[in-house]
A and B are shown apart, each in its own frame.
Chain A
Amino acid sequence: MEHAACEDLLEAILILTERCGSPPTAEDLAAHLGRDTASLGALLTDQERTGRVSVDSSGKVTLLPDGQAIASRVVNRHRILESFLAEKLGVEPGKASGEACLMEHQVSDETIRKLSDFLGRQGGARRRSRTRSGGAGDGEGEVAGTPIPLSEYPEGTRLRVMAIGNFSRVRRLADVGLLPGESLVLKRKLSNGSVVVEVKGCDIALSSEIAACILVEEEG
């Protein structure tokens, strides 16, 4: 349990640092992990003593090379497990993330490598991990980039549909060609999230709630 808690902590430092662009404080970490500051403080002191993290005078926690390596490895494992659970087993995304959190500490390196190979093979021409995880990857395995909703991209981007969330049963979407693997151009995006996409040579207007469920990747 202690081992899992350390890894979770290091992982959280890495994630929060990347998300905010600056090192987190102990309070940020406690809030992120859902733990009380007292027990977290003990853990932090422990990690500081083993030379994995450093805490500066203003309370900001940064990763030292040792800690950075462990954190990257855990983040990587988390991504692989989560994408396996969600995409291949069909576990609901929120749950997949939660379960990946538990499994990431126990699973062997070999299993992770095999899972990563499996995902890479299945994904076919799927692109390498995108910028968000770019800093963390230190050569250990190739992780598929997580698809994000259509409406997050700027107008004019050429995209490929990776998955269709809640609306996969809406047949009209498939009929106009909005299917996994299809490429499209985001032609218009209104501030309310409604979009126009060009798919199969036609412009199709979509309500924001539908656009939010179409997960895409940028096409090179």
Chain B
Amino acid sequence: MRFALVGNPNVGKSLIFNQLTGLGVEVSNYPGTTVVLHRGSTCVDREKVEILDLPGVYSIDGDQEEEALARTILTAGDLDGAVMVLNAMNLERNLYLLLQVAETGIPLVVAVNMMDEAEAAGLEIDLGKLSGILGVEVLGTAATSGRNLGGIMPLALERARTAGVAVPYDADVEAAIRTLEKTLGATRLAAIWSLDDIGTDPHIAEAAGDLAGEIEQSHRMSVHQIMALNRFTLSREIAGKVVRRGGSRAGIDLDQLLSREIPGIPILASVLVGMLLLVFVFGSLLEGVIVRLFQDFAVAPLTSLGLPPLAGKVAVSAVIGLQAGFGIAFPYILLFFLLLSILEDSGYMTRAAFLADRAMHRVGMHGGAIIPMVVAFGCNVPAIMAARNLGTKRERLIAAFLITMIPCSARTVIIAGVVAAFVGIPAALSIYGMVFLVIFLTGVLLSRVTPGGQIGMILEISPLRWPKPGLVLAKSFHRLKDFLVVAIPLLVAGSCILGVLEFFGILAVFQDLAAPLFQGLLGLPPYAITALLFGILRKEMAVETLAVLAGSANLSIVMSTLQIYIFAVISTLFVPCISTMAVLSRENGWKVAALVTLYTVLLGIGIGAMINLVFA
């Protein structure tokens, strides 16, 4: 059995999916977190049920990729049904999508989610009546507290059926539908979709195009608009019958502050800087403690053990790798993910997108692009995938290019763990400032040279919510899992290999070759190039390699502050990691990936050399 979860963006589909399947899918309080299709499975009465989490859409007749994906999956015929997730707070617009999905004839059950919020807001929803009108089973749920979630799949398996509502379209549209049905033998759905210009049969589409042209002339509106109006009329009527508004509690409207230029923009700036400062300050406290613990209880005992030279070298390298991973990387990543999750779940990001719209226009995008760019602070890989949501090819290209330059959590580790800890917090902030400036200038440049048009921002502002501690922790640990499972073993393995290479003098040969460039131009010790190269595998590796090669996680002993600063600038700017390149090349083509590589290498080395020239 196979079911799909369908719903508007930000109605809690991903949360329901996670609860049902036990998988960790990113959940946020802003539209468009799910861009790829997530699959998972659950067991109902010993039967395995596969669940697909479709990206959130407002309709299935749109021209964006996620809408086309939803359309294809719903009509492909290999689903046993769909679970429509509706937002109780906003039934009218959610029913609009339901009416479209119902048109496909797929068996449905409906989960009216966020019942808890609706109740708190004084909305009474008559679920029985709704079920009667729609002709399908309706269940009230609250995903954040888990209410009724267990009931969804059993209900879907047993009672999913084709909805009994059909949208009465405008008389002219209905006439056109009948014409297509009679003359070409089209199904009602095919006729509707063809008139809506999303039909798949070229034969019907051609005839529908002519009919649609006539209708548009007499109505002075596109057929899409006419049909949308008809659907909204019905969904408003249904919502009017089942929703009763009780006394609403008027809270403080924080948007009086957040979405105005003043004090909104200063607040936005302080949120960003405040977040970084928290990461720097508390991260370095933790870093100091963890590095010292490793030094006292692992590195020191190991060196005093008197192992044979090769084994000793490998063992010490492995421990220093772990020390760097847990001491330097872990504290910052942990704090960063926690703060990012709180920010995302609060719903603040859409306000930031609104305020940043003008600035984003300068770099050839619109405010909506802020969302993938903020995702990029966590990791560039999902951010590049999220950039798919942007309207045009030009916007996607510019966004993907700029995203690869955004300091992700791993690069934050380098900036926070190395620069903030050993050079100072103002220096660390200056790297962010420099990187943002470079990103902005690159964006201005790209917006001049990239062909194509752009459509502006049409973005739903998420409601502000108090982030739930449980969900924030769950999300942070889900993100952290990748670091623990993939990065740490890689760090340890990489360290061992480094130890061996160093032991046999291979690294020395390599570093001698690169020495002139590095020492002359950048003023860095030769082993820094090895560190930078390892950083391409994973950015945390840069720090870790440096620590292993320098023989200590306390970098201030072996490098000057200027060297540390230059090293951090170069590794932040130059070549994003391997996984980012892979995803970039898959999404935007290898040419773009190659261009990004070339550009960032030149940029990193250029700026590094410049700093060295000025300050050395």
Does B455 reach chain A (CB closer than 8 Å)? Answer: yes
Interface contact B458-A204, CB-CB below 8 Å = yes
Q: How far is the CA of A2 from the CA of B376 in the complex (A)?
A: 69
Q: Which residue of B lies closest to A193 (CB)?
A: B358
Interface contact B367-A194, CB-CB below 8 Å = yes
Which B residues are CB-close (under 8 A) to A200? 90, 92-93, 232
With A188-B260, A191-B261, A210-B457 already in contact, the answer to whether A205 and B224 are too (CB < 8 A) is no
Contact with B along A73-96 (1 / 0, CB 8 A): 000000000000001101000000
Interface contact A172-B458, CB-CB below 8 Å = yes
Does A129 reach chain B (CB closer than 8 Å)? Answer: no
Contact pick for A171, options B59, B261, B358, CB 8 Å: B59
Q: How far is the CA of A180 from the CA of B366 in the complex (A)?
A: 25
Interface contact B461-A196, CB-CB below 8 Å = yes
Q: How far is the CA of A202 from the CA of B62 in the complex (A)?
A: 19
Which B residues are CB-close (under 8 A) to A206? 456-458
Does A177 reach chain B (CB closer than 8 Å)? Answer: yes
Interface-facing stretch out of B205-213, B333-341, B349-357:
B349-357
Does B254 reach chain A (CB closer than 8 Å)? Answer: no
| 22 chain-A/chain-B pairs, Cβ below 8 angstroms | A88-B220, A90-B217, A169-B222, A169-B224, A170-B458, A171-B59, A171-B62, A171-B63, A171-B224, A174-B59, A174-B228, A188-B354, A191-B261, A194-B357, A201-B93, A203-B460, A205-B353, A206-B456, A207-B357, A207-B366, A208-B357, A210-B457
Q: How far is the CA of A172 from the CA of B455 in the complex (A)?
A: 11
Interface contact A208-B456, CB-CB below 8 Å = yes
Does B305 reach chain A (CB closer than 8 Å)? Answer: no
Which A residues are CB-close (under 8 A) to B63? 171
Does B544 reach chain A (CB closer than 8 Å)? Answer: no
Interface contact B354-A196, CB-CB below 8 Å = yes
Minimal beta-carbon separation of A125 from chain B (angstroms): 16
Further contacts, 19 of them, CB under 8 A, given A201-B92, A210-B456, A210-B458 = A168-B222, A170-B458, A171-B59, A172-B62, A175-B62, A175-B96, A188-B259, A190-B261, A190-B355, A190-B358, A191-B261, A194-B357, A200-B90, A200-B92, A202-B460, A205-B367, A205-B459, A206-B457, A207-B357
With A169-B222, A191-B261, A205-B367 already in contact, the answer to whether A175 and B58 are too (CB < 8 A) is yes
Which B residues are CB-close (under 8 A) to A210? 455-458
Interface contact A175-B59, CB-CB below 8 Å = yes
Q: How far is the CA of A201 from the CA of B255 in the complex (A)?
A: 15
Does B229 reach chain A (CB closer than 8 Å)? Answer: yes
Contact pick for A194, options B93, B224, B358, B455, CB 8 Å: B358
Which B residues are CB-close (under 8 A) to A57? none
Q: Sort A-B residue pairs by CB-CB distance and give the 4 closest, nearest first.
A: A207-B456, A175-B58, A203-B461, A174-B228
With A196-B259, A202-B90 already in contact, the answer to whether A176 and B357 are too (CB < 8 A) is no
Q: How far is the CA of A174 from the CA of B223 in the complex (A)?
A: 11
Does B540 reach chain A (CB closer than 8 Å)? Answer: no
Which A residues are CB-close (under 8 A) to B228? 174-175, 179
Q: How far is the CA of A202 from the CA of B357 in the complex (A)?
A: 19
Interface contact B58-A172, CB-CB below 8 Å = yes
Which B residues are CB-close (under 8 A) to A179? 225, 228-229, 232
Q: How far is the CA of A170 from the CA of B90 in the complex (A)?
A: 22
Q: Which bucket holds chain A's interface residue count?
A: 35 or more
Minimal beta-carbon separation of B53 from chain A (angstroms): 20
Which B residues are CB-close (under 8 A) to A202? 90, 93, 460-461
Does A69 reach chain B (CB closer than 8 Å)? Answer: no
Within A134-177, which residues are at the interface with B (CB < 8 Å)?
A: 164, 167-177
Interface contact B220-A87, CB-CB below 8 Å = yes
Q: Which residue of A lies closest to B259 (CB)?
A: A188
Interface contact A171-B61, CB-CB below 8 Å = yes
Interface contact A170-B357, CB-CB below 8 Å = no
Which A residues are CB-close (under 8 A) to B90? 200-202
Which A residues are CB-close (under 8 A) to B224? 169, 171, 174
Does B221 reach chain A (CB closer than 8 Å)? Answer: yes
Which A residues are CB-close (under 8 A) to B461? 196, 202-205
Does B361 reach chain A (CB closer than 8 Å)? Answer: yes
Does B303 reach chain A (CB closer than 8 Å)? Answer: no
Q: How many residue pairs bridge A and B at CB < 8 Å?
A: 117
The DSSP consensus for interface residues of chain A is mixed
Does A181 reach chain B (CB closer than 8 Å)? Answer: yes
Does A192 reach chain B (CB closer than 8 Å)? Answer: yes
Within B81-98, which residues are at the interface with A (CB < 8 Å)?
A: 89-90, 92-93, 96
Q: Which residue of B lies closest to A176 (CB)?
A: B58
Which B residues are CB-close (under 8 A) to A168? 221-222, 225
Q: Which residue of A lies closest to B226 (CB)?
A: A179
Does B450 reach chain A (CB closer than 8 Å)? Answer: no
Minimal beta-carbon separation of B415 from chain A (angstroms): 31
Does B72 reach chain A (CB closer than 8 Å)? Answer: no
Name, among A167, A181, A200, A210, the residue most crowded by chain B CB atoms within 10 Å (CB to CB).
A200
Q: Which residue of B lies closest to A189 (CB)?
A: B260
Q: How far is the CA of A205 from the CA of B220 in the complex (A)?
A: 26
Q: How far is the CA of A191 from the CA of B260 in the complex (A)?
A: 10
Q: How far is the CA of A118 from the CA of B367 in the complex (A)?
A: 42
Which A residues are CB-close (under 8 A) to B89? 201
Minimal beta-carbon separation of B97 from chain A (angstroms): 8
Does A209 reach chain B (CB closer than 8 Å)? Answer: yes
Q: Which residue of B lies closest to A194 (CB)?
A: B357
Within B294-334, which residues are at the interface with A (CB < 8 Å)?
A: none
Interface contact B93-A205, CB-CB below 8 Å = no
Which B residues are CB-close (under 8 A) to A164? 225
Minimal beta-carbon separation of A163 from chain B (angstroms): 9
Q: Which residue of A lies closest to B58 (CB)?
A: A175
Within A61-114, which residues are at the interface with B (CB < 8 Å)?
A: 87-88, 90
With A171-B224, A204-B461 already in contact, the answer to whether A177 and B232 are too (CB < 8 A) is yes
Q: How far is the CA of A169 from the CA of B225 in the complex (A)?
A: 8
Does B64 reach chain A (CB closer than 8 Å)? Answer: yes
Q: How far is the CA of A167 from the CA of B454 in the complex (A)?
A: 12
Q: How far is the CA of A201 from the CA of B93 in the complex (A)?
A: 8
Which B residues are CB-close (under 8 A) to A188? 255, 259-260, 354
Which A residues are CB-close (under 8 A) to B366? 207
Q: Which residue of B lies closest to A163 (CB)?
A: B220
Contact with A along B423-466 (1 / 0, CB 8 A): 00000000000000000000000000000000111111100000
Q: How far is the CA of A207 from the CA of B457 in the complex (A)?
A: 5
Q: How far is the CA of A203 from the CA of B90 in the complex (A)?
A: 11
Name, among B90, B355, B361, B461, the residue most crowded by chain A CB atoms within 10 Å (CB to CB).
B461
Q: How far is the CA of A209 from the CA of B225 in the complex (A)?
A: 20
Q: Which residue of B lies closest to A122 (CB)?
A: B220
Q: Which residue of B lies closest to A88 (CB)?
A: B220
Which B residues are CB-close (under 8 A) to A190? 260-261, 354-355, 358
Which A residues are CB-close (under 8 A) to B367? 194, 205, 207
With A172-B458, A207-B457 already in contact, the answer to whether A194 and B92 are too (CB < 8 A) is no
Minimal beta-carbon separation of A115 from chain B (angstroms): 16
Which A residues are CB-close (under 8 A) to B58? 172, 175-176
Minimal beta-carbon separation of A158 from chain B (angstroms): 17
Minimal beta-carbon separation of A77 from chain B (angstroms): 22
